[in-house]
Structure 1
């Protein structure tokens, strides 16, 4: 599968599903049961599809094994890009390169790993076609049992590296699949990869949850002025600097839950909204943040972010007023500012411009919907909405600039406690068989399809997010009747995924992992 390129958004990604379906169709089981192997449409042009493969045993209980097949770009391989999807030649080429020049610390570790013979390179081999391979191996092993109890449903999805449109389309189709084949889906195993910089102890793990992600933005509106007369206006840059100072890497804004702590928020983008040069202070500055969470809801995040922005705005205005008073040797008065949510901005837009203004904004959203940069799309829509609404600065608009990835965790499932006990038994037995160690980890730290896998979003939270996310393309339009079931992540481990030195630890990935996935599925079906 690694030799089949599948970079997100490419024609190769779209063609991958048919290659995989054809490959699975050649197995003995699916030659006898062709109706249990099919694809589900996802998105895009050319159309990308999910691959679905069902192996039936007795009864209705079903475990779903899920992984994505899209990969990040191969451009960071440079001159080795033609070998990016050829694991053995690439590994040798990287070895040759590393042996030929002075190395930094990360490169020294990569050389040591490759020379050990335990690591193999390849774009997507770690993230995450090895996970797919483990799921297929477990599926085939289940198909070979004489009288298996329960059913295993294997799914391979596109687009995880962009906005999980593959998993979300599969999630939407799953209720009908369950009805068609009379399945009771009791659990899911996500097969995504993790990283470990030490001897693999942190990588040999079963993850009980996946981190939540919000992308709050602050669209800052100042009052522009000529640089020679700085106190005749209000600096949007000063306001934005105070917002960044209040948000960026502030430890108190991280979450503590499940015995672990999430990273604090970071600023991903800060730019003023103009194309050319002049000596006028900018009237609009865009800020976007990445805020990872272990417990906060959308309402918590929006409320806390608005309060932080309001405080930062007040600090910036008070500081500039104080500077003006000292410069002019007199009291210059107090500058007032305004903070609105994006939903509140839309209300003002409709009050000022009516349905025509709203229609113009919706047309802009449709024209930008194909864009892959959510921050650029959101920035342009908010800027247009501010103009339509006639908002004057100083003011700040706050909302969400990209798709929200919900926090999921086994503890949130009603059967979470008993399932964790079952998992512990499987992990201990597998570790003993293979002479290794396998541990629990609470939160998968990278955003993943697991956020939408078996998770039925809260309707109130979905409405708040949709109302405050400028582009409909970056909201999760979840239909009624979605299935809800507990999930965990069991996948390969390696190092430097997405990077030139991306490599998978072969002994664990190709020996322990398929066994662990298979035995976990069996135990879950027997619960």
Structure 2
């Protein structure tokens, strides 16, 4: 494999890019494009997301087929996006064909601050390789750097190498049209690393293209990364579905009190701590799916709402979890969490009452009637309780949104509940469970489907050289979640009831997802250290074997 220097790639003009690529093997092409993409800083939430799309578009337009058909490459701006980010598409049309395979990948990355003292080298694969060759603090990464088989850099694994695989396979078919019996669509998405806005917006483009070209989307192939599960793991994991994700949120209002009368209140931070202990990393709440990596909820935020020092206990605390979903509908998960929290909160109040009674008795103070309560609601139950109290909920929600449209999406639900609660001005302690962005639906390909069987047959053919293991759910968050949805209309309706202002802050085109219903699989690049400064992709598999696997699978899918 030819090692292309970083400086050479910086000088590699896009106009002459194809002239450089045409002399290379596919593996060399993938490495060249990966290095070029890594050199473009495209951190999520920055203008670099625009720069990387423009770079990919320029690469595509250097291919002869797209110089002949420039209309086959286009971009789609995200509606209302302050950074003017966009998706990029490229389509190769096979005359009279309807069967279409989608290659999709995301173009943004996480930040580079974790590189610390070598931050300036985060986008320079050669400089990082040289650094890690002398990095004795981690023998594994030092060995990888010395081998020459690994490519380093932010995004090298997640997932600019995956972008490069898709681009080179697109180029391959443009040079070998006789091997095509169907259409090929490349889709490069922005904003994957947090809100998935790129993939969501792309649904409209997919729908439009399908109608205009009379396409049948047979499968979408994502090349998002895979990694070893344990030291020495040589298996390559291929996924025929995507796990979902819900951000399960808890608005917690206690009964504030002076620290000199601490037994009289309900400290919202104590309630939050109990809920965190109950839910965080608790396997009792996970689904049972044999052989799959089913992960428990993880706490992503726990923060009281005091903004200055005083000797009053915290009245309100915010708490939310990343909660993966696999087969169960989200509304059932919410109900399960609500019931568990309700039981735990009842125990907590009983403990608090008991502690205060013991304290008073110890001081020979007269016992008092303790009527403290801690109510637990889902969001829709909370709204119903307000309506029963005569509160004009819909008007208040409208007024709130008019004044808070620029608020962070994660904060909207908390602020709305706080706003509504102040209209009632009661002193009741409460926990309100709701959802906030992002929400990623779960989906998977049925084992009796043609897509599954063709994927299985493809992998079997490589069984002598690679050890593959098919898994149902890609264990990380994925844009593939939005290409199909397993939950039905009724289940989505129950979910939406507990998603405050969902249509305003995170409108998801559920009908489009259901109508498109594109089977999605992940056949990804292989590497280590994603989202860390030690991120690296393994070249022999990712650049040499993987592209052929994807092409063989594509060929099978195109055939009836």
TM, length-normalised to structure 2: 0.86
User: C-alpha separation between the residues in 2 aligned to 1:335 and 1:46?
Assistant: 49
User: C-alpha separation between the residues in 1 aligned to 2:148 and 2:277?
Assistant: 46
Name which of structure 1's ranges 157-166 and 243-252 shifts more when overlaid on structure 2.
243-252
Please, which of 488, 491, 505 is the counterpart of residue 524 of structure 2?
491
Does the CA contact (< 8 Å) of 1:457 and 1:478 recur in 2? no
Does the CA contact (< 8 Å) of 1:84 and 1:122 recur in 2? yes
Does the CA contact (< 8 Å) of 1:188 and 1:454 recur in 2? no
Deviations 1:320-361 (A, max 9, x none): 011111112236444333222223334455642555522331
Shift of 1:39: 1.1
**What are the residue-to-residue correspondences of 1:358-369 with 2, within 5 Å?**
358-368=397-407
Aligned equivalent of 1:265: 297
Aligned equivalent of 1:22: 58
Shift of 1:366: 0.7
Shift of 1:285: 1.5
Please, which of 173, 183, 204 is the counterpart of residue 142 of structure 1?
173
Please, which of 379, 387, 390 is the counterpart of residue 342 of structure 1?
379
3-state DSSP class of the match of 2:319? strand
Please, which of 82, 86, 107 is the counterpart of residue 120 of structure 2?
82
Shift of 1:258: 5.2
Shift of 1:189: 0.7
Does the CA contact (< 8 Å) of 2:301 and 2:318 recur in 1? yes
Please, which of 71, 75, 96 is the counterpart of residue 109 of structure 2?
71
Shift of 1:465: 3.1
Q: Taking structure 1 as reference, are residues 353 and 400 closer, same or farther at Cα in structure 2, changes over 3 Å only? A: same
Aligned equivalent of 1:53: 90
Aligned equivalent of 1:441: 471
User: C-alpha separation between the residues in 1 aligned to 2:170 and 2:405?
Assistant: 41
User: C-alpha separation between the residues in 2 aligned to 1:354 and 1:264?
Assistant: 34
Does the CA contact (< 8 Å) of 2:194 and 2:438 recur in 1? no
Q: Taking structure 1 as reference, are residues 456 and 314 closer, same or farther at Cα in structure 2, changes over 3 Å only? A: closer
Please, which of 194, 216, 225 is the counterpart of residue 248 of structure 2?
216
Aligned equivalent of 2:11: none
User: C-alpha separation between the residues in 2 aligned to 1:60 and 1:91?
Assistant: 45
Does the CA contact (< 8 Å) of 1:349 and 1:388 recur in 2? no
User: C-alpha separation between the residues in 1 aligned to 2:360 and 2:528?
Assistant: 59
Shift of 1:420: 2.3
Aligned equivalent of 1:403: 438
User: C-alpha separation between the residues in 1 aligned to 2:509 and 2:147?
Assistant: 47
Q: Taking structure 1 as reference, are residues 193 and 364 closer, same or farther at Cα in structure 2, changes over 3 Å only? A: farther
**Alpha carbon RMSD of aligned pairs, Å?**
2.1
Deviations 1:382-402 (A, max 9, x none): 322322343432211111133
Q: Taking structure 1 as reference, are residues 91 and 383 closer, same or farther at Cα in structure 2, changes over 3 Å only? A: farther
3-state DSSP class of the match of 2:493? helix
Does the CA contact (< 8 Å) of 1:349 and 1:357 recur in 2? no
Matched, 1:510 2:540: no
User: C-alpha separation between the residues in 2 aligned to 1:456 and 1:304?
Assistant: 20
Structure 1: 5+ residue runs without aligned partners?
Answer: none
Deviations 1:416-450 (A, max 9, x none): 44332211221122344xx3333212221111111
3-state DSSP class of the match of 1:287? strand
Structure 2: 5+ residue runs without aligned partners?
Answer: 1-36, 362-366
Shift of 1:146: 4.1
Q: Taking structure 1 as reference, are residues 220 and 208 closer, same or farther at Cα in structure 2, changes over 3 Å only? A: same
Does the CA contact (< 8 Å) of 2:397 and 2:416 recur in 1? no
Aligned equivalent of 2:183: 151
Please, which of 249, 256, 268 is the counterpart of residue 236 of structure 1?
268
Shift of 1:477: 2.2
Aligned equivalent of 2:30: none
3-state DSSP class of the match of 1:402? strand
Aligned equivalent of 1:126: 157
Q: Taking structure 1 as reference, are residues 161 and 488 closer, same or farther at Cα in structure 2, changes over 3 Å only? A: same
Matched, 1:37 2:73: yes
Q: Taking structure 1 as reference, are residues 417 and 179 closer, same or farther at Cα in structure 2, changes over 3 Å only? A: closer
**Matched pairs, number:** 510
Does the CA contact (< 8 Å) of 1:365 and 1:381 recur in 2? no
User: C-alpha separation between the residues in 2 aligned to 1:17 and 1:391?
Assistant: 52
Does the CA contact (< 8 Å) of 2:225 and 2:524 recur in 1? yes
Name which of structure 1's ranges 83-92 and 417-426 shifts more when overlaid on structure 2.
417-426
User: C-alpha separation between the residues in 1 aligned to 2:553 and 2:417?
Assistant: 47
Shift of 1:495: 0.7
User: C-alpha separation between the residues in 1 aligned to 2:451 and 2:393?
Assistant: 53
Aligned equivalent of 2:418: 383
Aligned equivalent of 2:554: 521
